[in-house]
Structure 1
C-alpha cells in the first residue's frame, strides 16, 4: 500500500492492483479502491488500522461481497518494511510491495 499526497494512493496484493482514494483518522485510513484482479475489473472499500501492538490491519471489501483481511507487522530489528500475512491462506501477499 502506497499513500501519496492529496488523498490518493495505490495498493497491490497478490493479483489485485488498485488505485485508492483516502480519508484519514488518528489511527485509521479509510479508502475506496478500483482496479483489476488478474483481468477482472474490481472495486470496493477498505481500511488500514494501526493496532496497539504496532501492527497494521488492512481490510479490503470487494463490491461483490468478498473480503480480505491482511495483518502487517514490523520485523524484529525495526527496518522500514512490513511483513504481511493474510487471514486467508489462498492469498499470497508480497511484503515488498
Structure 2
C-alpha cells in the first residue's frame, strides 16, 4: 500500500466527493501522481463507506464541502435526481467511446 502525502489524500477525497468510483480514482491518481493505489485504499477516503468510517475530521469536512458544492452546480437544478451525476456518466461514456 502506497504511503500518501496530504496533496494525494486531498485529491482522492475530492475525486470521490464528485462521484468518481474507486476504480476511476485509482486511474486518476496514477495519471496525476504516477503512483499505484488500490481500490480498497481509495475507499478508505470515502466517509460514506464503511471503510472510510475513521477518516479524519478535516478530510470528512473537505469531502462534504466538495460534494455539496458539486451538487449545487446550476446543472443540478434540472428536474430529476442527480442530473449532474448522470451528465458526468454520459460524458465519461462518450469519452470512452471516442477513445476506442
TM-score range, shorter chain: under 0.3
Structure number with larger C-alpha Rg = 2
Q: What's the TM-score, normalizing by structure 1? A: 0.24
**Comparing both structures, which one devotes a greater share of its residues to helix?**
2
Q: What's the TM-score, normalizing by structure 2? A: 0.24
